[in-house]
Each structure stands twice: as structure tokens, then as C-alpha cells.
Amino acid sequence: MAYSLCSSHSPIVHERHTLSLSLSSTKNPRIRNFNHPSKLNFLSSQYKTPSLQISHVSVHDPVTEETKSEVVGEAATTGNPDGNSGSSSKSYIWVNPRSPRAPQLRKKSYHTRYTNLVEVAESLNSCNANEDEVLKVLGTLSGKLLEQDAVVILNNMVNAEIAVLALKYFQQNLKPEREVILYNVTLKVFRKSKNLPGAEKLFDEMLKKGIKPDNVTFSTMISCARISSLPEKAVEWFEKMSSFGCDPDDVTYSAMIDAYGRAGNVDMAFSLYDRARTEKWRIDGVTFSTLIRIHGQSGNYDGCLNVFEEMKAIGVKPNVVVYNTLLDAMGRAKRPWQAKKIYQEMISSGFEPSFVTYAALLRAFGRSRYGDDCVNVYKEMKEKGMKLNVILYNTILSMCADLGYTDEAISIFEDLKSSETMPDSWTFSSMITIYSCSGQVPEAEAMLNEMLKAGFAPNIFVLTSLIQCYGKAKRIDDVVKTFNDLLELDISPDERFCGCLLNVMTQTPKEELSKLTACIEIAYPKLGYVVKLLLEDDNSENFKNEASELFETVGADVRKAYCNCLIDLSMNLDQLDRACEILNIGVTQEVYTDIQTRSPSQWSLNLKGLSLGAALTALHVWINDLTKILESGEEFPPLLGINTGHGKHKYSDKGFTLAGVFDSRLKELNAPFHEAPDNAGWFLTTKVAAKSWLESRKSSELVAA
């Protein structure tokens, strides 16, 4: 095969300020195409020398021309083995690769010299950081030292300390036309080692010598700050450019989207991004990742997805960092279904999930209580030998506590203890909650003792769980003792703690209710007074006013729980009218919304989110409302339905479901509602059956009267 003596070598870097060796000419080169494989082309002496280009700067080396002339001269004196005369007036000289002189000519090409320069750079990287060692290595260079030789060597170095010594050597032994180029490639070495302080020191040296920095200088400093995770510094260097007469190009602007975003200047980041879209700048994956993160932190989760789609639309392929950032955002948004979709796309794109990927999935599934998915991710991590930190363990255990995954939680906790991970107070709190909600008193108490031995004092979450545990076990005296422990620890009971006391009252025998009432009156006097009025069966307007005021002042996150418990307590005390009154207050103050809904085709009773007592009370009210509607002559829709939901109570040993209780209750009432076979949790009937049943109830009530 033929060898090209002037073959160009591969680019040195792949950045905006790409450093490459190119062959240039003052004239437009005339390219001659030959298909014969035995012919070899190389430059004649009339062409310009190989030039080293950094961004828009070229270093023209006359010595390289001499080198090439020497090669051409030798070829001419040797004579063309093919019989074609070589002339300097022609663009190419062909040499038969079988000629004895071909290997010698090939050695004289700049490609071979470039290879030698790279080897010198490698030797410098491994030598001792002193001038004598550097001088010794650079002394091995043959021929006249060229400015572009210095650039090639510096560009291939990774040891910043030695690069500075090499730069000093070149400055002493060369008279560079553009000394800023030598500084730029040396700054790149500092960037490779993420040494921004060293780069800044070298920049100051430039200024002291009167060398004006150019765009490449600043882009190198900015990128050095970025990869050093110093976005504020990147912004600082970017904002210096104008004072030196440098105008950023679109790539630098794109990089600054990421820098401003990481530095917290969100408005500037999005302003540049809007400009980038308009002017079609080239934006890298890191910048898109930053934009997604900014949207996620501000709660604009649709914005995260929009940026992701825009990224793909302009042909930028998402990398692992982008996928992980988006997964984290979807976890914050509690959109586990989108997290699953993004993860599947990531896998189908050929990316291997990392620890960060799995951690984002655990948070996404754990926060949204996607129990099976979360546990499966945990198992996959363990199969791959990944070690979880205590925060991830706590995320899983907290989810298990909320979903009643008792067995899974116990297994995961044992795995945590067998690893090098140390449980913290939140770990113990979740385990105590799991045992408490299951009514496993000995296990909860044992976990509390383990927590104390580990040096953690019980917090309000632990004490709340213990009260719930003793309440389920009907150990009311232990509930009171735990409440007193809370006061002794100088912990102020919050609304959730009081809600737990109220919930325990719904499971407590009537004769022991006064013990808990006393606790609630101390913890939350307003709630205690309402409970006291309820127990006294006060039929005056006083109860209604006090209860209404309570729901106006209590936190939104506990309003429904308080209302449910007060209704349940009323039902336990056979105070149906009081339960209806509380339900009405809850509807009026929008504690409950859309319990009764109507459409032209169906009227519905929606009971999801209601306690058993509240749901039965709502059914009683609905039946009475339907009876009044029937009496008024208003037409019924074709269908009537009751939606109980189909979920099992998370800590019910007997598999309690609201749907199961209502199935029995509706049969007791002889109501014509039947569970829909294709829609779990729904009980439906027709208007004909409903009207007939309501009329029969009315007749029965008249007979009974």
C-alpha cells in the first residue's frame, strides 16, 4: 500500500478551542485524485508548512518547511522509481512504497515528529519536578525546536507543576510569535488536574509579563472552575472577559448556563437558555442536567420533563447524569410512574444504572409508597453488592412503616445491622412504628431499649408510636405513663401526638376514657374541651361552636384525622346524631370534599379516606338525602354507586377493608347495591332498584311508627 508522508494526525482535543495540526496554504490547493493503489502522494515545496491552530490562531513554522523541503529534495535526488520526474512546481510527488528510500522519507514526515513529541510529553509527566530533570528530557529533542513543538508537548502533559517548568524552558529557548498560545495549553494542564488556584497564579504571571489573554484563555479558566465544582469562580471569570476585550462565543455562553445555575443565579441561567434556544447554541449534557436540577429544586417538575424532551429534540443524547438528575426530580415530584418510564428508557439506551440511579429510584418509590417497586430496587442493589447508607435504609424503612410491610422491614433492619452501617434515631423510630402499628408490644419495647443502648433518646415520633402500640393492646395505663414520660423529657406534644391520643380513645373501653381525656386536656386544651363535651353528650349549640372553631384552627394535615376520630368516638358511644353533626361540620369547612357527587348518568357516595365510623355515618346521611329526593319527585339518574376504595388497612391482622364491611352492612340493610365485578371497591345499583328499596324502607318505617 502507499504511505502518505504528509498524513495528518488525530485531533489533540475535542473542545471549542480544538488544538490540531493542519496543513494550510496561501493558495487553494489543487487536489488530484488517483485511484491507482501503488502511487504515493506528498506535498511539494510550494505548499505552506504544517500549522498549529488553536481556535482561530495559527503558528506558522518556517522550519517545518525546511524539513519538508529536505524530504522533497531527497525524493527528487533519489529519482522517482516509477519513472515520473519530481518537480517542485507540482503539487505532489509520488514514491513507490517498495523503494528503499520510502521508509527513510516516511521518518522525516511531521507525523513521526509529532509521535516523538508525545513521547517527550509522557517522559516529562513522569520525571521529577525540577529544572534539571526537565532540561534533561527536553534535551533529547532533535533538530531545531519549533513553537508548535512546544505546544504539542505542553498539550499532552498532565503534570501541572512540571508543565510550568517546561513552559519556562520554551520561553527561554524560543521567540514565540503568540506567547499566549503557550500559556493557554499550559492552563489546560492545570484544568486536567482540576487545579484552579495554580491556573489563576499562571494567569497572573501572564498579565505581569504584559501578555493579553484571549477567548481561549478565559474558556479554559471557566471550564477549569466548572470541573473543579466551583461555579461561582466560573461566573467570576466569565464576567472578567469584557474587561479584557474578549467576547464569549456560543459555546462559552452555553457553559455559563450550567455555571450560573450551579452558582444559584437561576434567572441568569434561564435567560441564557432562552437565548440558546433562539440562537441554536450547542449545549452539552452537563448543562441540560443543571437545567433539570434547577427546575426540580424550584418545584417545576413539568419544566424538568420539557427540558429533557427539548434536549432529545435537538439531537443531544442524554447521559447517565441527565437520567439520574431527572429521576431525582421525579422522586421529589412524587411521580413514581414517570420515574419508572425514565428508568426503562435509560436501560433501553444501553446505560448501566449506577448507585446514584438506584438511590434516586429508592427515594422516588419510597416517598410515593410504591412498596413492591422500592423493595425490588433494594434487592437488586444487594444482588450487585452495593452498600446502602443509613439515609437510604431509613427511606425504605419509613415506607415499610407506612405500608405495614412488617416482615420486609425486619429483614432490611437485620441486613443494616449486619453491614457496616450504623442505625440512627430515625432507623429505630421507623422500627418502633412498625411494631407499634402491628400491636407488637414486646418487640416495640425491645427496639426502644436497643435505641436507648445506642445512645439515642426517644423523640416525639417514637413516643407517638408507643402510645399507638399500647392503645391497640388496650394498655391504657401504659399510654398515660408514656404521656407523662413525654412531659418529663420536656417534649411539647404536637397535633399529631394529640391525634394519636384521640385515635386511642376510639379503641378504649368507655370506663377508661376519662384517663385519656385528662391527657388530651393537658396536651391540647381546645381539643380536650371538645372531647369533654362529646363525652358529656352536650346537646347545646356549645359543642357545635367549639368543634367548628377547632377545625378552623387545627393544621390542615390533621383536620381529617381529628374529624374521623370524633365521629368514630360518637358512633362508639351510640351518638349517631352527634356523628352526623360532626360530619356536617366537616363538609361545611371542607374537611371532607366531594363525599356526594352527581352527574347526569350517576350519583355517587365517595368514602375513600374516611374512617369506618365516618363512612357509616356518611352512608346514613346519603340514604336520608336520597329519601328526601324521592319524596320531592326529582328524577334519579340511571345508576347510583358507592365507592369505598379497595385497599386493605395496612396494619389489619384480619385483612380489614372498608369494602368488606360495607358489603355486610348493605346486606343488613337489604340494599340493592352489588359490588361491581370489574371495578373493585364500587357498589352499584339502578335507579329502579334504588327507588323501590327506598319506598319499601319508608313503608317499613311507617308501619314501625
Find all residues with CB under 8 Å of 190, minimum gap 6, and list them.
Answer: 160, 163, 196, 198, 199, 202, 224
Residue 134 exposure: Cα atoms within 13 Å on the Cβ side = 19
Report percent pLDDT > 70 for the chain.
82
Inform me whether the pLDDT recorded for 549 exceeds 90: yes
Range from 226-235, 267-276, 367-376 carrying the lowest mean pLDDT = 267-276
Helix axes 147-155, 179-192, angle to 10 degrees: 10
* Mean pLDDT, rounded, for 651-677: 82
Confidence of residue 57 (pLDDT cuts 50, 70, 90): very low
φ and ψ at residue 648, rounded to 5 degrees: -85, 145
φ and ψ at residue 703, rounded to 5 degrees: -65, -45
* Mean pLDDT, rounded, for 30-56: 35
Under a CB-based contact definition with an 8 Å cutoff, are residues 592 and 583 in contact?
Answer: yes
The DSSP line for 231-247 is: HHHHHHHHTTGGGGT--
Strands 19-23 and 50-54: antiparallel
At residue 140, the pLDDT reads 84
Spatial distance between the Cα atoms of 482 and 459, rounded to a whole number of angstroms: 12
Cell numbers for 680: 373493585
Under a CB-based contact definition with an 8 Å cutoff, are residues 153 and 124 in contact?
Answer: yes
* Mean pLDDT, rounded, for 206-216: 92
Reduce the DSSP state of residue 95 to 3 states and report it. Answer: coil
Inform me whether the pLDDT recorded for 640 exceeds 60: yes
Inform me whether the pLDDT recorded for 318 exceeds 70: yes
Please write the tens of the pLDDT for every residue from 71-124.
Answer: 333 333 333 434 344 433 344 556 666 677 666 655 555 567 788 888 889 999
Element counts in the chain: helices (H) and strands (E): 33, 8
* Mean pLDDT, rounded, for 235-247: 90
Report percent pLDDT > 90 for the chain.
58
At residue 578, the pLDDT reads 95
Better-predicted residue by pLDDT, 104 or 227: 227
Beta strand extents in 621-688 (DSSP E only)? 639-643, 674-675, 682-686
Cell numbers for 54: 488553536
The closest of 410, 357, 411 to 380, measured between CA atoms, is 357
* Mean pLDDT, rounded, for 241-252: 86
* Mean pLDDT, rounded, for 635-662: 77
How far from 153 is each of 141, 164, 202, 680, CA to CA, in Å? 11, 12, 18, 73
* Mean pLDDT, rounded, for 220-227: 90
Confidence of residue 267 (pLDDT cuts 50, 70, 90): confident
* Mean pLDDT, rounded, for 335-351: 94
Find all residues with CB under 8 Å of 172, minimum gap 6, and list them.
Answer: none
Would you say how long the chain is, in residues?
Answer: 705
Range from 80-89, 320-329, 376-385, 506-515 carrying the lowest mean pLDDT = 80-89
Domain 596-702 sits in CATH at 3.30.1370.110
Reduce the DSSP state of residue 598 to 3 states and report it. Answer: strand
Confidence of residue 42 (pLDDT cuts 50, 70, 90): very low
Please write the tens of the pLDDT for every residue from 15-33.
Answer: 434 333 333 333 343 333 3
From the centroid of its chain, how far is CA 673? 47
Range from 107-121, 473-487, 572-586 carrying the lowest mean pLDDT = 107-121
Inform me whether the pLDDT recorded for 696 exceeds 70: yes
Inform me whether the pLDDT recorded for 623 exceeds 90: yes
Show me where the domains of the chain are located.
109-212, 493-593, 596-702
* Mean pLDDT, rounded, for 223-241: 89
Please write the tens of the pLDDT for every residue from 298-308.
Answer: 888 999 999 99
Strand partners, 92: 43
How far from 496 is each of 457, 501, 590, CA to CA, in Å? 19, 9, 20
Cell numbers for 604: 355517587
Please write the tens of the pLDDT for every residue from 389-415.
Answer: 999 999 999 999 988 899 999 999 999
At residue 191, the pLDDT reads 93
User: pTM to 2 decimals?
Assistant: 0.65
Instruction: Let me know if 510 is exposed, middle or buried by CB neighbors in 10 A (0-12, 13-18, 19+).
Output: exposed
At residue 105, the pLDDT reads 56
How far from 554 is each of 346, 347, 549, 562, CA to CA, in Å? 45, 47, 9, 9
**124, amino acid identity:** L
Find all residues with CB under 8 Å of 638, minimum gap 6, and list them.
Answer: 601, 602, 686, 687
Better-predicted residue by pLDDT, 91 or 14: 91
- Mean predicted lDDT score pLDDT of the chain: 83
At residue 102, the pLDDT reads 62
Spatial distance between the Cα atoms of 124 and 425, rounded to a whole number of angstroms: 54
Under a CB-based contact definition with an 8 Å cutoff, are residues 392 and 364 in contact?
Answer: no
